[in-house]
Amino acid sequence: MDLLVVGSGFFGLTIAERAAEAGRKVTVIDRRHHIGGNAYSENEPTTGIEVHRYGAHLFHTSNPSVWEYVNRFTTFTNYVHRVYSTHKGQVYALPVNLHTINQFFNAAYTPDEARALVKEQAGEFDVKTAANFEEKGIALVGRPLFEAFFAHYTAKQWQTSPEKLSGDIISRLPVRYNYDNRYFNDTWEGLPTDGYTAWIERMADHPNVDVKLNVDFFDESQPLNKKALVGQVPIVYTGPVDRYFDFAEGELAWRTLDFEEEVLNVGDFQGTSVMNYPDADVPYTRIHEFKHFHPERKDVYPDDKTVIMREFSRFATREDEPYYPVNSTDDRSGLLAYRELQKGEKDVFFGGRLGTYQYLDMHMAIGSALSMWNNQLNA
């Protein structure tokens, strides 16, 4: 074994595939029963509808090298992601756009009029100097729209007061003064034609890659453990950074998700793939309806059944699968301390959303893995 990769998400598998292509013998371990991390998908057995097991995954990128790389393993559909939000009994389009503004204020503003209105309502904060999520959100869309669509949704999603969250989160949701309600602005967008698991399995399908599932890196009763291998072989670690150091500098805050899946005897439940629920009196953040991710499969999927999944967010405990770093102001000092500890770990490379404690979309994880391979591991 020339390299051990801990975790089989997109970051780990990209490293493994690149190393294998370079002639190195790579072992990939994952404590789950499947590869792919949170991007794993499988067909719901009674309907055959592909379900994203850990919440909706939408691929998009403007990075040519990432787009070229992922197309080695899959083609993509022409799916364009659009999100809607049910607020006080009405459905609005997100991100906030001219239609959202006009509907919300029961008006018919022109782009310039809407821009002037939002500018007036957003005047209490400046985008460039906004110190947190709340200030930046108000600076982007004004207080009325922020409180309707983002304040309570964010509190449910992150279990953290908006003023304690980084403003970087809301930069993902631009306000538009036209009727464009595409969720993403990237050059390329789509879903893997044969599903995420088929894509993931192709990345791992190399004679130099040995994948071992149900293997815990911290379980010293099996040979592929931290104590036995650190310093003996290069390791790419994509698990939670605080867990690697046995929480020596305290626990970082993570968010995890719970899901309620239901098969319904209707052809179409909500008419779209994702519906947000930003109001405080609704316990879940959104509902996914998976058949809408692949309209090209309409002749394969049943026309009298559908699969929905309600998504609930909460803080993760040590026993949970962490999904997203909360990255509040309280976490930053602990993260800096862990980064100092990383410097003392010989030939251990920390990557991915969990290993770096950064909010990374799939294309960002793949791009950072390619960068690590080119600049550090393949040197």
Query: Which residues are designated catalytic?
Result: 172, 176, 255, 286, 311, 359, 361
Phi-psi region of 318 (alpha: psi -120 to 50; beta: other; left: phi over 0): alpha
| Three-point CA angle 152, 157, 163, nearest 5° | 60
Q: How far apart are alpha carbons 238 and 6 in whole angstroms?
A: 6
DSSP sequence for 359-377: ---HHHHHHHHHHHIIIII
CB 377 within 8 A of CB 12: no
Strand partners, 212: 29
Residue 286 sits at φ, ψ, to 5 deg, of -165, 165
Show the tokens assigned to 320: 């949970």
**Residues in CB range of 216: below 8 A, 6 or more apart:** 31, 222, 225
**Residues in CB range of 266: below 8 A, 6 or more apart:** 304, 305, 306
